[in-house]
Structure formats: structure tokens, C-alpha cells
Amino acid sequence: MAPRTLFDKIWDSHVVETLPDSTAILYIDRHLVHEVTSPQAFEGLRLSGRRLRHPDATIAVVDHNVPTSDRTQPIEEADSRNQIETLERNVKEFGVPYFPLLSARQGIVHVVGPEQGISLPGMTIVCGDSHTSTHGALGALAFGIGTSEVEHVMATQTILQKPAKNMKVVVEGQVGPGVTAKDIMLAIIGHIGTAGGTGHVIEFAGSAIRELDMAGRMTICNMSIEAGARAGLVAPDETTFEYVRGRPFAPKGEAFDAAVAYWKTLASDEGAHYDRVVELRAEDITPVLTWGTSPETVIPVTGNVADPASEADPSRRAQMQRMLDYMGLEAGQKIAGTPVDVVFIGSCTNSRIEDLRAAASIAAGRRVAHGVRAMIVPGSGIVKAQAEEEGLDKVFVEAGFEWREAGCSMCLGMNPDRLTPGQRCASTSNRNFEGRQGPGGRTHLLSPAMAAAAAVTGTLTDVRELI
């Protein structure tokens, strides 16, 4: 057999049948469900009298709509409450396993899946949410789907898809101090652009990727979507197996050994073909952030924002100017030293225990700058409990950060955590679109350590000055 990539192997092993126009009926191992994109799918099943084929391959959580403050109070926003209550009725009716709001296991769907051992290497994983790519860090083929497809998966445990192209992004070398997985990924997006991965599944490889822990790999794969890719992947290795071992829903004992033996066969073969290969040197990557309203507007924290005058293409020049105006920045200005109003540490990109430790190491013994609102939103109840066991909550609270309950929170303006117009936010989330964190809000994407640095200095700051 011709050498195959990791993507090819997972794909091939899940094709149930190939239809005449090369569309595959692709088997799905795990379906993750949340409250926003599922109600019409459940309703569709009900109206057509269909059953949900595999509740035992499905898991539901609430995350997008939930408040991250006191959970014992009823949810105030009626629409949000209704979406949550609807999910609760649906999971009951269709027998879907569910982590409710008050469960310690509740959290952002893309944090919960890996954490519980529900997402495993070699699997196909889907969810009605674009950042499903996160689970690719385990060496699983994971992508976001629309509501009709959610219903399709519920009814058939498959989706209809045409194969993607293979792309490899290689990062060799060792990153310098203060440079994290987030900086690596933002640097990649800055390099290839938000359409750079269109039509492709990206496999991330190279020593700098292999050196990352699972949380870091999840950060990388999470933002494959911002690079335009259908999904992101990292080949499973010892780091992966150790991460999976002992998780609540992972195989145990002999079954685990059998699984590992299989997972070891998944890595791309020597000589496998990639349609596109991009290489970066880890040493060239510095702490970075975005200045504009597209995730590709990445600059080093020591750098200057773009100057439209240097752009020859008129429509691009106009777009740059629009971004500058929206962001309240001057062409060519130094980005460091720009004052922030809000700091958000959370989201499925950066809310795992490793992220919180990184933020706490900067926050420890310092104070949130006067006038800055800084919030820490753990990705799940489990992450929150772990952080409290390690005393990180005390570090944060003593430094003046808010210590909140798990959820999507200020990653998107769908729950009470929102920016107000004109507020500038240093955010560890993944999208900086206009209004994403609340109408008129200005988002700078950066790493948890950089976010903590912004909180304690009150400005966008090179974290290396604080370590």
C-alpha cells in the first residue's frame, strides 16, 4: 500500500461506503452536543419519528449560554434559559448522556471531551461547533458541522463528506522563554493567513510540536479553523497515551494496551504525500498578539501595528484602515504599552489547568492594574477544582482577578459576560471579529501568560519583562 498520512489512515478506516460522486459516508465515533446548535436537530428526529442511533457515542453539555457567576441562581436571560431547558428535555427523551450545569464535569465541550477520555486517538469526532478541531490534538479527526448534519449524525452515526487535502505544518527547534503554544499557532496563522488551510486538514509536526504537552497541542489544533483548515491533527505519541491513561471514559487495563498498540500505527508513514508543506523555525517565534479584527493580523508584542500606507492594493488598504478605526489604533504605532480595560483568560483555546498555571506564574505576588477588569474562567468544573487544589484561585483572587465558573463566557457575546462598546480586551480566546466579545468590543488575541502580563501592567506588555 502507498504510504499514507495520519489523516488518510483515520479517513480510510471510517469510510462506510463511497458514493458515485466520491462523497463518503463516514462513520462517526463521537458526537458532542451543546445547547445552541442541537435543538432543531432533536426536533427533526422527533418530527420524522427517527431514533438517535447511538446515545452511547454521544455526550451533551451546556456551555455557550451559561452564566459564569453564581450557579445556584436561576438563569436570567429567557432565551438562554430556554435553550438550556430544551437541551435538558431532549437528552432525557433521547437517552443522551449529559453533564448538567451543576455537575463538576460540566464545562466547554472541547475541554470536557478530552478531559473525560471521551475523545480518543484515531477517532472521528464531530460537534455542531467549529472549534471541534481541538480534539485533533489527540490524533483524532475532528470537525465542526451544521445543524442538518448534527441531525444526520444523530440518526445515522455518519456524515457525508468528500476527502480533504493533506497539509503539513512543521515547526522545528526550541522556542525561547515566554513563547507558548498560543504564540506558535498565532505565528502560523500570521504566516499562512486565515485562508491558508482551506480545503485541507493540517497535520502539525516537528520537534517544537512534539515537545508540547496535550494542552498546548489542543491550543494549536483549536485554531486550525482560524487558519481556514477543516481540521488539525497531531500524531499520537507517548505524551498522548500518558494523557489518556486513567481518564474516566478511556479504555482500562488490557483494553488500554490494545488501544495503544493500535494508536501507534496511526502516525504518518515515511514518504506519505502532502499537498502542501509549510515550515517554521521555533527560534523565530516571539510572544505575539493580534492588532486587528482578523486572526491573521499577528505581530510580535515588540512590533508595530500595520500601516495602510505601505499596502499597494486599495481594497486591502481600506480594509486595514477600517480595522485600525474599529480597534482605535494609529497606523504604525507601537503595540506594547496600549492600555487595556478587560483581560479574559478562558475559552476552549486556553482554559486548561496548564494555561491557568502559566497565567498564575505571572500573576503571583502582583496586582491587577487599577481600572482593569481581569477574569479567569476555567474550561471545566474539573479544571476549576484542580486549580483550587493547587491554590491557583488564591493567587488570582489575591492579585485582584475574578475567579469564575466554567463556560464559554466572554469568548462570544451570547451570555452575560460581554464587552461594552469601545472596551479593549486582552483575550486568550480565538476570534477577534468585530463584536465577537460584545458589540463594539476590541479584542487582542494572545497567550495566557501575555494576558496575565496585560492584567498586572494595565497595558499590552511583553511577558518576558515579567519572568
Q: Determine if 416 is a binding residue for other proteins (CB under 8 A).
A: no
Residue among 132, 116, 299 at smallest CA distance from 124: 132
Closest distance of CB 263 from ligand SF4, Å: 26
Find the binding residues for other proteins in span 76-95 (CB under 8 A): 79, 82-83, 86
Find the binding residues for other proteins in span 117-146 (CB under 8 A): 117-118, 120, 146
Considering only residues 140, 259, 356, 411, which one is a binding residue for other proteins as defined by CB under 8 A? Answer: 259
Angle at 402 between CA 399 and CA 408, to 5 degrees: 135
Cell numbers at residue 452, please? Answer: 496575565
- Tell me the Ramachandran region of residue 347: left when phi exceeds 0, alpha when psi lies from -120 to 50, beta otherwise: left
Q: Determine if 72 is a binding residue for other proteins (CB under 8 A).
A: no
Radius of gyration of the chain (CA): 21
Residue among 145, 322, 163 at smallest CA distance from 225: 145
Q: Determine if 347 is a binding residue for ligand SF4 (CB under 6 A).
A: yes
What character string, x for contact with ligand SF4 (CB under 6 A) and - otherwise, covers 350-389? ----------------------------------------
Q: Determine if 246 is a binding residue for other proteins (CB under 8 A).
A: no
Question: Does the annotation list 425 as a binding residue?
Answer: no
| Buried b or exposed e, range 380-415, using 16+ CB within 10 angstroms | bbbbbebbeeeebbebbeebbbbbbbbbbbbbbebb
What character string, x for contact with ligand SF4 (CB under 6 A) and - otherwise, covers 88-117? --------------------x-x-------
What character string, x for contact with other proteins (CB under 8 A) and - otherwise, covers 7-46? ---------xx-------x-x-x---------xx--xx--
Q: Determine if 420 is a binding residue for other proteins (CB under 8 A).
A: no
Closest distance of CB 16 from ligand SF4, Å: 28
Distance CA 248, CA 347 (A): 23
Question: Does the annotation list 221 as a binding residue?
Answer: no
Bridge partners, residue 232, by sequence: 202
What string of DSSP letters covers 115-167? HTT-S-TT-EEEESSGGGGGGGGGT-EEEE--HHHHHHHHHHSEEEEPPPEEE
Bridge partners, residue 304, by sequence: 334
Find the binding residues for other proteins in span 394-413 (CB under 8 A): none
Closest distance of CB 155 from other proteins, Å: 5
Q: Is 272 helix (H, G, I), strand (E, B) or coil?
A: coil
| Chain centroid, CA 414 distance in Å | 17
Of 185-193, 206-214, 281-289, 404-412, the segment contacting ligand SF4 by CB under 6 A is 404-412
Distances (CA, A) of 405 to 338, 379, 452: 29, 8, 18
Considering only residues 181, 348, 360, 460, which one is a binding residue for ligand SF4 as defined by CB under 6 A? Answer: 348
Distance CA 332, CA 150 (A): 45
Residue among 264, 256, 260, 319 at smallest CA distance from 292: 319
Distance CA 361, CA 395 (A): 9
Q: Which amino acid appears at position 292 of this protein?
A: G
Query: Of the two residues 219 and 437, which places its CB atom closer to other proteins in the complex?
Result: 437
Closest distance of CB 232 from other proteins, Å: 22
Residue 1 interacts with which of other proteins, ligand SF4, none, CB < 5 to 8 Å by class: none
- DSSP summary character for residue 69: S
Considering only residues 71, 81, 88, 147, which one is a binding residue for other proteins as defined by CB under 8 A? Answer: 147
Residue among 113, 139, 138, 115 at smallest CA distance from 127: 113
Of 155-163, 188-196, 205-213, 317-325, the segment contacting other proteins by CB under 8 A is 155-163
Question: Does the annotation list 408 as a binding residue?
Answer: yes
Query: Of the two residues 55 and 173, which places its CB atom closer to other proteins in the complex?
Result: 55
Of 88-96, 158-166, 408-416, 450-458, the segment contacting ligand SF4 by CB under 6 A is 408-416
Which residues in this chain contact other proteins in the complex, by CB under 8 A?
A: 16-17, 25, 27, 29, 39-40, 43-44, 47-48, 50, 55-59, 79, 82-83, 86, 97-98, 117-118, 120, 146-148, 151-152, 155-158, 160, 249-251, 255-256, 258-259, 262
Which residues in this chain contact ligand SF4 in the complex, by CB under 6 A?
A: 63-64, 108, 110, 129, 131, 347-348, 408, 411-412, 429-430
Residues that constitute the known binding site for [4Fe-4S] cluster:
348, 408, 411
